[in-house]
Each structure stands twice: as structure tokens, then as C-alpha cells.
Structure 1
Amino acid sequence: MASRSFSKEDFSCPVCCDIFINPVLLSCSHSFCSSCIQRVWENKTLKECPVCRETSLNDRPPVNLALKNLCESFQQERQRSGSGVCSVHNETIKLFCVDDQQPVCVVCRDSRKHTDHRFCPVDEAVADNKEILKASLERLQEELRRSVTREQKLCKTAGDIKFHTQCIETQIKEEFKELRQFLDDEEAARITALREEEEKRSQMMKEKIEETSKQISSLTITIRDIEEQMKAEDVSFLQNLKATLQRAQYIPDPDLSPSVPIDFTNHLTNLKLNVLQKMKDKVGKHDLYNVVYSRPPGRVSAPHRSRTVDSDLYG
């Protein structure tokens, strides 16, 4: 529909006289190819329209989307027609302008637009450009293969990262489980030692309490007897004096003196430091063994892996 309603001139840039490429719209409503207007304005202070000389309000004018869409539709319609006839001069297209990279007729060749341009027959241009495109296509296909290979390696690396993360997470949990078990065992051992000391001292106190109770009963009886003797008649008092004095000679048992209570320092002094030192002595060699030998089978370490991935992807 576009080719029947419009001609090439309707879609031609006033600067390059060719169909618009990425047209932009100036404030004066004139349109130009983006590259053409920037080339005209290069090294100029005033940004004037090449057609009406009106100063543009924007040195980066917006894209004329409507015109751009129309130009693309017009080009597609021309390509679909494939008549091999010049749309400007209605002559059979037999030549290819090397400078403008477009097929032309003999009238186009002699026109002012193609002055001093180079031309070649259409069949030669097709052969030469197909070879160029073939080489470009091969490079693109090779780059595609490399990109696919790179993607596969990246996916494998992503999988390795996830696998290593899971392995390390499992190892961390195992290590802390072992540490917690060590602390639980150490706590249980120390509490057991404390309970054993408590039991031993409690048994000693029980025995001393029983012996002390017996001594209290004996002393009570002795005191009562002596008090009775002191109330007796003088002759009777003197007759029993020797025995009474012997009973009054009480010697306390030194072993029944109160024992020293449980000493806090024996169980709490430097508790954390002592446990940490025991932990270090116990698990130090085990940790070194894990660092050297606990890598996942068939996998490489993270630093070595990163160098390998970089060389595989970009080497």
C-alpha cells in the first residue's frame, strides 16, 4: 500500500537525498536522518535547519517515529515487490553503486546523485557480497558456538558453586555439632565431678553429725551426773570426787570440726580458658585433617576452580 501511495521522494532526506534512516524531527517540523543533521551541525554554534534556517531548540532532536515506521514499511514493500525496476526512473536495474551500496539503473548512474561513484554489474555485486556475508555468517556461527560453550561452562560453574555451598554448609553444621557435643560432654564431666565432691563431702558431714549427736548425748549425761555429785553430801562428794574428776576431763574430737565447704575456685577459676584450651588440643589436629582431606570427591578447590573457569571461558 505504501509503494502505491507514495514515491521515494516522499521518504527522502533533504541532506543525503536517500530514504530516511532513523529520522529526527526539528522544532520547525522538518525531518532529517539523525546522522545527516548531526553532520551538518558539526562544529557549528547555531543549530539551524538546513531547509528553512530556523534555529533548532534542541541539539538532540527526538526521533520521528511515525516517519520512521513509514520508511521501514516503504522499504519492506519495495523489497517484497522484487520487480528489478528502478522506482525513480522505471528502468531495469542492471548496476550496483559500490559507494551507496544500492542497486541502480543506467539513468541513476548518469544522474547528479551518483557523480564519481563506482559501479559494477548486479551479478558481480551479488557474488561479491554473498562471499562477504558468507564470511560474516561463518564468524557469527563460530561466535554462537563459543557462546553456547561458554553458557554451558557458566551453567556448570553455577552448579559447582551450589554444590560446594551445600557441602561447606553441611561441614559447618557438622563442625558446630561436634563443638556443641564437646561442650556438652565437658559440661557433663564438670557437673559430675562437682556432684561427686558434693556426695563425698555430704557423706563426711553426715558421719560427723552422727558422731556429734552422740557426743552431745554423752556430754548431757555427764553434765547432769556432775551436777548431781555437786549437790551430794560432803563425804559422799569426796568419796566420788576422783571418778567425777575423771568424767569431767572431756577431750573434744578434732575430726568432728566443720569441714571447709566446696571451693568455687576449684570448679570455676579460668573455666572458659581451660575449656577452650582443651578444645584446641582436642580438635586442632582434626581441623587440619579436614582442611587437607575433606574436599568433595571429584571437585576442585574454590580458588583453583575460579582460575580454571576463567581460562576455560576466555582463554
Structure 2
Amino acid sequence: MSLPEEDLTCPVCCDIFTDPVLLSCSHSFCRSCLKRCWDTGLRECPVCRKRTSKSSPLSNLALKNVCETVLQTRRQSSVEEKMNCNIHGEKLKLFCLVDKQPICVVCQSSKLHKTHDCSPLEEAVLDCKDQLALSLKTLQDELNCLKIIHRNTADMFSHIKNQALKTQRLIKSQFEQLHQVLYHEESVRLAALKKEEEEKIARMKDTFKELAAEVLSLSETIAVIHQELKEDEMVLLKNFKATQDRYVKIMDLWIMDHLFLVLIVIYSEWRICYDPRSKSTPLDSDIMSGVLIDVTKHLLNLKYRIWEKMLDHVDYTPVTLDPNTAHPCLILSDDLTSLHYSTEPSCCPDNPERFHMSAEVEF
């Protein structure tokens, strides 16, 4: 005796019962469906709302057995339907090698498959399994290859980051060396300029003091002469020799110290007399000669001279090794000019340019 399908359906999930339980009100539910309802708070029947005191309702074994029988019957019917031809309802016994699908004997005689080669299902299953196994092996090999490429790509990504950091550090180091050379040359030349400035200023201070002393002495002599001119004639005559001797002594000292200036003044006065165009008064060339900063000495071809000095600190190597092609056992120096062999290979990526068969490197 078979029960109608609605009697085998859970009121909550509306599907065939799975592990059905029976409540005191005679209603049955899937155990999981009832648990979800009771988890909301109230322990009552989802259909009649009758309260129940049992926390773990009893299994409905009779209903469970009936439901399992129905489900098994459904599965068998589904399998049988799959084994029958959808068009003719006959059992599938052949496999069309052209269309790659199972057919019945009626399909083989039909116009659709009449000219096609067919084989029994048992043979077709073996052939298809072999082909699928071959395809599976090919796909598995391709997957393994892709995994290796993926791993190498990850290693290369990390290596590129390390390469960039190391190269950046070396670039900064070399520029720091050049900066040190420039800073040193700058400090040397500024010190030379400062020294010349101090020497020229000290010279001008000494000259200024000497001139001030001479001006003071001449001013005193002039004041004495002015005073003598104001005295009585007899006093003037009595003091004349001493005043004249003082004047001659001062002039002798001044002329000895400025003989070249006196000659320049005489020559200039002669030019003024005979050359109306010459109206300038000469400076004291002995005092003023070479007092200015020798700007030319400090700035003459400064950049070129610094560049020549920097050549002493720069090394040129005609051969530079390529680290991207070096064998893993070859360790290159930071400046890429030398190498040494190591028994422990380095962790370098397997890029196409790298030597692997022999310990070589390109340059």
C-alpha cells in the first residue's frame, strides 16, 4: 500500500521527509526543520501551535522507512530513464562514434545515424575512459607547468624588488661619493677665498693705519707752520730753521715711502700740461695695486677644473658583467666588474637569459 506523496512531505520544507520526528500532536517534521523553528524561541508545533515539553522529539521510524523507499524508487527510475532513449524509449545499447553519444538500435536504423559507425557501450566506455585519462594527463601536465611558472613568477617578482632596492642603494652610494668630492672641493675653494679676503683686508688695515699716521703728522706740521706765520717776525726768524728742518724731514720720509707715487704725479702733471684730454688724478698705485680679490683665479673654468679633479675619483671599466645572465654559482661584485665561484648556488630566478648548463656570464 503506497501513501500519497503529500503525506510524505514536510510542512516546513515542502520536500520528502529527512530523518522525520513525531510530536505529541501527531504531526511529523524533518528533524532539522523542527530545530530551526524551535531555535526562534517557542517549543510548539509549527502546524497546530500546540506546546510540547520534550526537548528531543522521537524519531518516526515507520515514516522514515517509507520515505527512504520512495527516494530509492525515484533514484532507480531516474537511472532507468537515463538508460533509455529519449526519442524511442528503447534501452541505449550502442555508441555513435561520429556524434559521440549513446543511441538505441532504432536510432541506428534511422536516417540520422544510418551511415555512422557505432560500437557497443562497453567498448565505448573503455575507449572514452582512455581518451579522458589521456586528456586528464595532458591537463595535469599543463597544470603542473603553470604552477611552476606561477612559482617562478612569484620568485621573479621578489627578485625584481630586491634588485631595485640593491641598485637604488648602490646608485645612492656612488652619488654620495661624488657629493663628498664636490663638498670637499667647495670647502677648499671657499677657504682659499676666505684666506685671500682676510689677507687683503689685513693689508688694507695696515695701509690705512700708516696713512692715518702720515695724515696726523702732516696735519701737525701744517698747524705748526700756521702758528709760526702768526708769530712776530723776530720769533718767526728764530724758529724758521727748526720748522724748516721738521718740514724737510717729513717730506723726505714721505717721498722715500711714496717715490713711485711722486713719479706718477710728476708724469701726470706733465700730461695734464701737454695733453688737455688727460684730466684724471692717479691713485696711489703702490698702495692700491693688487688689493682687490682675484676673482678670475677663483672662477676661471671652475666647473671644468672640478670635473678634472673628479676624474681622479672615477673609475672607468670597459667590461661590465650582466647579473641577469650569470650562472647561479657565479657571485658578481657590486660594481659588476669581477666575480667568484661559489659551491652554493644563489637564489636567482630561472629567467630565459640565464646560463644553467655552464658557469658563464655575458658582458
Does TM-score exceed 0.5, indicating one fold?
A: yes
Deviation by residue 1:4-31 (Cα, 9 ceiling, x = unmatched): xxxxxxxxxxxxxxxxxxxxxxxxxxxx
Q: Give matches, 1:1-315, under 5 Å.
A: 83-228=82-227, 232-233=233-234, 236=238, 243=245, 246-247=248-249, 248-249=251-252, 250-254=254-258, 257-258=287-288, 259-284=290-315, 291-293=335-337, 298=346, 307-308=353-354
What's the offset of the Cα at 1:201?
Answer: 1.4
Unpaired stretches in structure 1, ≥5 consecutive residues: 1-77
What's the offset of the Cα at 1:155?
Answer: 1.3
**Aligned AA (2:248):** Q
The count of residues paired between Structure 1 and Structure 2 equals 231
Q: Choose 143-152 or 168-177, whichever is displaced more.
A: 168-177
Q: CA RMSD in A?
A: 3.6
- In structure 2, the residue matched to 1:57 is none
SS in 2 for 1:169: helix
SS in 1 for 2:150: helix
Q: 1:305 to 1:270 in 2, by over 3 A?
A: farther
- In structure 2, the residue matched to 1:72 is none
What's the offset of the Cα at 1:148?
Answer: 0.6
What's the offset of the Cα at 1:240?
Answer: 5.1
**Aligned AA (1:308):** R
| Alpha-carbon distance between aligned partners in 2 of 1:79 and 1:100, rounded to the nearest angstrom | 24
Q: 1:227 to 1:148 in 2, by over 3 A?
A: same
SS in 2 for 1:96: strand
Q: 1:291 to 1:81 in 2, by over 3 A?
A: farther
| Alpha-carbon distance between aligned partners in 2 of 1:306 and 1:279, rounded to the nearest angstrom | 39
Q: TM-score, normalised by structure 1?
A: 0.62
| Alpha-carbon distance between aligned partners in 2 of 1:299 and 1:104, rounded to the nearest angstrom | 59
| Alpha-carbon distance between aligned partners in 1 of 2:78 and 2:142, rounded to the nearest angstrom | 29
What's the offset of the Cα at 1:308?
Answer: 2.8
- In structure 2, the residue matched to 1:5 is none
Q: Choose 226-235 or 97-106, whichever is displaced more.
A: 226-235
**Aligned AA (2:129):** K
Contact 1:230 1:237 in 2 (8 A): no
- In structure 2, the residue matched to 1:40 is none
Contact 1:212 1:256 in 2 (8 A): no
SS in 2 for 1:291: coil
What's the offset of the Cα at 1:280?
Answer: 2.7
Deviation by residue 1:194-230 (Cα, 9 ceiling, x = unmatched): 1111111111122222222221222223333445556
Q: 1:120 to 1:218 in 2, by over 3 A?
A: same
- In structure 1, the residue matched to 2:276 is none
Q: 1:216 to 1:163 in 2, by over 3 A?
A: same
Q: 1:160 to 1:244 in 2, by over 3 A?
A: closer
What's the offset of the Cα at 1:177?
Answer: 2.7
SS in 1 for 2:102: strand
What's the offset of the Cα at 1:294?
Answer: 9.0
Contact 2:221 2:247 in 1 (8 A): no
| Alpha-carbon distance between aligned partners in 2 of 1:160 and 1:281, rounded to the nearest angstrom | 35
| Alpha-carbon distance between aligned partners in 1 of 2:317 and 2:199, rounded to the nearest angstrom | 37
What's the offset of the Cα at 1:262?
Answer: 0.7
Q: Choose 139-148 or 270-279, whichever is displaced more.
A: 270-279
Deviation by residue 1:155-179 (Cα, 9 ceiling, x = unmatched): 1111111111111112222233333
Higher helix share: 1
Q: 1:286 to 1:200 in 2, by over 3 A?
A: farther
What's the offset of the Cα at 1:305?
Answer: 5.3
**Aligned AA (2:186):** E
What's the offset of the Cα at 1:102?
Answer: 0.9
**Aligned AA (2:210):** E
Q: 1:104 to 1:240 in 2, by over 3 A?
A: closer
Unpaired stretches in structure 2, ≥5 consecutive residues: 1-76, 259-284, 321-332, 358-363
Deviation by residue 1:66-94 (Cα, 9 ceiling, x = unmatched): xxxxxxxxxxxx99776311111111111
**Aligned AA (1:267):** H
| Alpha-carbon distance between aligned partners in 2 of 1:203 and 1:299, rounded to the nearest angstrom | 67
What's the offset of the Cα at 1:123?
Answer: 0.3
